[in-house]
Amino acid sequence: MKVLNRLKDFGLKLSPDKCHFFKSSVKYLGHVVDADGVHTDPEKISALKSWPRPSTRKQLKCFLGFAGYYRRFIDGYSRIVKPLNHLTSGYWPPRKRGKMYKRERIQSPVNADSPFQDEWSPECEAAFKTIIERLTSAPVLAFANPKLSYILHTDASQSGLGAALYQEQEGKLRVIAYASRGLSKSEQNYPAHKLEYLALKWAVCEKFSDYLYGSDFTVLTDNNPLTYVLTSAKLDAAGHRWLAALSAYRFNIKYRAGSTNKDADGLSRRPHHLPHEDKAFLQEKERIENFKRHILNRPQEEIQNTVFSALCELHSVGSTSSEFCGGSEFPVLAECLAVDASSIPHSFVYSGQETIPGMSHKDWYRAQREDPSIKEIINCLGNGQRPNMSSVGHGFPEVRLLMREWNKLELRDGVLYTKRMDDGEINYQLVLPPQYRETALRGVHDDIGHLGLDRALHLARARF
């Protein structure tokens, strides 16, 4: 009756032949609408179960057009179909008579009816089957209640942007809609923090604007720096434009760990081949692999006496240089001296800072004594006498590196620390065993919101 009264109030008329009364569910534009929410139409989706694998670009475009109509039911649609979209890159719609596309002057378009042959990869086959599986078991999307607040999950990766809109209805968190999209060529060059900001602006101001405008909502993200974007973040010109667009909405941003942000994270992330044009990301990935290979997992190679002596002469340490340079197996020290005397990787972490969660004082006490290099230094400190350089560190080059810090070393409750002056105050730094360095570095990288390698190394050297 409420519907009929509203139609009467606005002077609207209905055709009886097109009306359905006393129905528990109604089919509308390929969807089924009932009291629970919006479903995909089983009759439409049943055709997918027997859909043959596309063999030409024209057939693939037909399949993607059908599947794209139901994309809001699929969690991470854009990342799933990315291998399929790549196959359509050379297929253009028929041009109008007399119209010339600029790209036609550079290369000829791919024939839409030509077979894929070897272009149909296992990734394409997996994407094709995943779309059919997801659509035939699509979830029920709840109706949005404008009287309730919304919860928006956002995430970004080098694969694309993802977002999921929720409402808590009758004590349950119900999905209102999923959304995802790929990245343009320029967006693929964005750093991680800017991609997260872009995902927020796109989800709020574009994709879900009809739901969120005029409503209060909460944004959940796994990027901690994004929580400061509305208050104290330093932004570039594009960032200020995005901030101006977001200022029309009422919301707050909350951080939650990436391990609990699976929905939006899955929308934006999926293992697949990186785009060829993304040179910056490939270079960054190569630098990280080189750092892990040469710094974190460096082999203990033998260094010739002449090479090592030359390095010691170049970076003379005074009267003790002859003692310090004795021996032949010092690859760690030799590598550091060859690069720069100040570039020796720190083996220390600020005391009290939970860089490696779950490690207690007793755990560090035991871990340090399990490391031969640190154990030897602890024994020397326990005796209260500084040994000669020539009498320590045989087979353990890092013992000599720690010996250079002898005047700053101190045992506190049996755990080895170094004393550092920080803004005029003494700061105690825990000596970190080598086997924990990679874990600690990953912890620093996660703490700062997945910034680049240079920024992660800068903060790691400030902590370790």
Q: Where are the domains of the chain?
A: 24-92+112-137, 150-260, 355-462
| Cα 18 from chain centre | 50
Which is nearest to 90 in space by CA: 107, 115, 102? 107
pLDDT of 201? 93
**CA dist., res. 223 & res. 200, Å (int):** 11
| Cα 371 from chain centre | 33
Whether the CA torsion 238, 241, 245, 251 is positive or negative: it is positive
Q: Encode the chain (464 residues) as per-residue pLDDT tens digits.
A: 788 889 889 999 888 888 878 788 887 766 788 777 777 777 666 666 777 888 888 888 888 887 787 777 777 788 888 888 888 776 555 555 555 545 444 445 566 677 777 778 888 888 888 888 877 776 667 788 888 999 998 888 887 888 888 888 888 888 888 788 888 888 888 988 889 999 999 999 998 998 899 899 999 888 888 888 877 767 888 888 998 999 999 999 988 775 555 445 544 543 334 444 455 556 666 666 666 666 555 554 555 555 556 656 555 444 344 444 444 444 445 544 444 333 333 333 334 344 465 677 788 888 888 888 888 888 888 877 776 666 555 556 677 777 778 888 888 888 888 887 766 777 777 788 888 777 777 766 665 555 556 666 666 665 65
**CA dist., res. 267 & res. 72, Å (int):** 11
How is 189-220 classified by DSSP, letter by letter? Answer: GS-HHHHHHHHHHHIIIIITHHHHTTSEEEEE
**What are residue 427's DSSP bridge partners?**
420
Which SS3 state, helix, strand or coil, does residue 156 take? Answer: strand
CA distances from 325 to 18, 299, 301, 405 (A): 94, 20, 16, 16
**CA dist., res. 275 & res. 298, Å (int):** 31
Which SS3 state, helix, strand or coil, does residue 390 take? Answer: helix
> Tokens 């240079």 map to which residue?
454
pLDDT of 307? 55
Q: Output the furthest CA–CA distance in the chain (Å, rounded).
A: 104
CA dihedral 375, 376, 377, 381 (to 10 degrees): 100
| CATH for 150-260 (3.40.1080.10, 3.40.640.10, 3.30.420.10, 3.40.50.620) | 3.30.420.10
User: How many Cβ atoms are within 10 Å of 12's Cβ, its own excluded?
Assistant: 9
**CA dist., res. 341 & res. 79, Å (int):** 46
- CA angle 97-101-104, nearest 5°? 110
pTM, entire model: 0.43
CATH architecture of 24-92+112-137: 2-Layer Sandwich (3.30)
**CA dist., res. 127 & res. 133, Å (int):** 10
Contacts of 89 (CB under 8 A, 6+ apart): none
CA dihedral 307, 309, 315, 317 (to 10 degrees): 160
Contacts of 166 (CB under 8 A, 6+ apart): 150, 151, 152, 153, 173, 174, 175, 176
Within 13 A of 52's CA, how many CA atoms are on the CB side? 4
pLDDT of 202? 93
